[in-house]
Amino acid sequence: MKVKLVPIGNSRGVRIPRAIIEQCGLGEEIEMRVEDRHVVLAPLRGARDGWADAFAKAAPAKLDKPLLPDRLAHSWDAEEWEW
């Protein structure tokens, strides 16, 4: 689809047809980025979108190993504390 850049103050903008907005699931705010000299407009994602799927895939693949042991042992644990 060919569209024109329209002046908006000192910038330029593009009118996005309603059908495309609905088809892409765009809301009031969108994400805009440049990839390989192309402007990409995408629905705004939450900070943790996709985490649940990633965790679900990691568990069966055994990729969810703890970073720390369940209990951190230290010599202080055996000593009596004095106040």
Q: Contact 32/39 with Cβ under 8 angstroms?
A: yes
CATH of domain 6-66: 2.10.260
The beta-carbon contacts of 15-18 under 8 Å, at least 24 apart in sequence, are 16/41
Q: What is the pTM of this model?
A: 0.53
**What residues contact residue 39 under an 8 Å CB cut-off, 6+ apart?**
32, 33
- Give tens-digit pLDDT for 67-80: 787 777 777 777 77
- Give tens-digit pLDDT for 37-69: 999 999 988 888 888 888 888 778 777 677 787
- Give tens-digit pLDDT for 24-38: 999 999 999 999 999
